[in-house]
């Protein structure tokens, strides 16, 4: 049996549901109080892709994507979550080391939070600037619109579609980690894309 190892990143603003997404995908659970500390968190998932192929996914929940204040970080209170004061830069550029060797990426936002949607442009640009496949192409990336179970939706399907097409995403999907809607499907779509590169 052929075995593949794929490093996959999950990036996006803080609180959009990245950790919950991986927890759901890997452990099959949604836990409202499930919280990550600052730092890179890794999980592994083994997929029997076909009777000839086995895929090990090395999933990286990227550090530094929570909104935290640098002052608090410096003071060692880095496990606290807080939002930057209005007007300050919210986007945190990631160190190249996080992107190294990645073969696929999920960029996630929260449909009830338009700012997290706008940030996806930066996340995708940062990814394309710092990560590429050995042949120089940009790595396959999918756009996930999370929290579709919530009524107070603020980003339309049409704008997600247009944004995805204009910014080089392989595809986009509306998901709910809470309702377990499209979580496995999204990852299957990404793995399929990586396999076909
Ligand atoms: P991260 O900072 O991007 O890793 O976000 P978390 O995974 O910590 O999630 C932030 C908050 O959103 C938590 O309170 C989660 O319970 C909640 N959350 C995550 N996914 C969903 C979802 O699909 N629907 C709803 N309603 N809440 C969600």
Placement of tokens 């990550």 in the chain: 36
Q: Is 32 in the pocket of ligand 1 (CB under 6 A)?
A: yes
What was the pLDDT predicted at 85?
A: 40
C-alpha–C-alpha distance, residues 58 and 66, integer Å: 21
Q: 54 CA distance to ligand 1 centroid (A)?
A: 30
C-alpha–C-alpha distance, residues 132 and 138, integer Å: 5
Residue 84 has pLDDT above 60, yes or no: no
Residue 75 has pLDDT above 70, yes or no: no
Vertex 122: Cα angle to 152 and 60 (nearest 5): 85
Between these two residues, 96 and 194, which has the higher pLDDT value? 194
What was the pLDDT predicted at 40?
A: 61
Q: Is 66 in the pocket of ligand 1 (CB under 6 A)?
A: yes
The 3-class SS string of the chain reads CEEEEEEEEEECCCCCCHHHHHHHHHHCCCCCCCCCCCCCEEEEEEEECCCCEEEEEEEEECCCCCCCCHHHHHCCCCCCCCCCCCCCCCCCCCCHHHHCCCCEEEEEEECCCHHHHHHHHHHHHHHHHHCCCCCCCCCCEEEEEECCCCCCCCCCHHHHHHHHHHCCCCEEEECECCCCECHHHHHHHHHHHHHHC
C-alpha–C-alpha distance, residues 106 and 99, integer Å: 12
- Which residue CA neighbors atom 26 of ligand 1 most closely? 147
Give me Rg for the CA atoms of the chain.
16
- Mean per-residue pLDDT for 79-88? 40
Task: Tell me how far CA of residue 126 lies from CA of 45, 94, 107, 129, in angstroms.
Answer: 26, 8, 11, 5
What was the pLDDT predicted at 64?
A: 46
Token pair of 170 as six digits: 């392989």
CB count in 10 Å sphere of residue 171? 17
C-alpha–C-alpha distance, residues 114 and 145, integer Å: 11
pLDDT band with cut points at 50, 70 and 90 for residue 76: very low
Q: Over the stretch 18-30, which tens digit does the pLDDT of each residue have?
A: 989 998 999 888 8
Which residue among 9, 11, 13, 17 has the greatest number of ligand 1 atoms within 8 angstroms of its CB, and so is best to mutate?
17
- Which residue CA neighbors atom 14 of ligand 1 most closely? 32
Q: Over the stretch 139-161, which tens digit does the pLDDT of each residue have?
A: 999 999 999 999 999 999 999 99
pLDDT band with cut points at 50, 70 and 90 for residue 33: low
Q: Is 189 in the pocket of ligand 1 (CB under 6 A)?
A: no
Residue 68 has pLDDT above 50, yes or no: no
pLDDT band with cut points at 50, 70 and 90 for residue 117: very high
Residue 45 has pLDDT above 90, yes or no: yes
What was the pLDDT predicted at 39?
A: 54
């Amino acid at each position: 049996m052929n075995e593949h190892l794929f490093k996959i990143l999950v990036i996006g603003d803080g609180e959009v549901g990245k950790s919950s997404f991986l927890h759901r995908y890997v452990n099959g659970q949604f836990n409202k109080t499930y919280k990550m500390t600052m730092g890179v968190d890794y999980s592994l998932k083994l997929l029997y892709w076909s009777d000839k192929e086995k895929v090990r996914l090395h999933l990286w929940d990227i550090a530094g994507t929570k909104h935290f204040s640098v002052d608090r970080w410096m003071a060692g209170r880095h496990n606290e979550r807080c939002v930057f004061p209005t007007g300050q830069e919210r986007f945190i550029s990631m160190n190249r080391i996080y992107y190294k060797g990645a073969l696929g990426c999920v960029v996630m936002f929260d449909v009830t939070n338009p700012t997290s949607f706008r940030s996806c442009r930066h996340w995708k640009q940062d990814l394309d600037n710092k990560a590429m496949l050995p042949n120089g192409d940009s790595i396959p990336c999918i756009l996930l619109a999370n929290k579709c179970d919530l009524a107070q939706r603020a980003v339309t399907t049409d704008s997600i579609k247009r944004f995805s097409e204009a910014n080089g995403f392989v595809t986009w999907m509306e998901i709910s980690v809470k309702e377990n809607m499209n979580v496995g499907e999204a990852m299957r779509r990404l793995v399929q894309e990586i396999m076909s590169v």
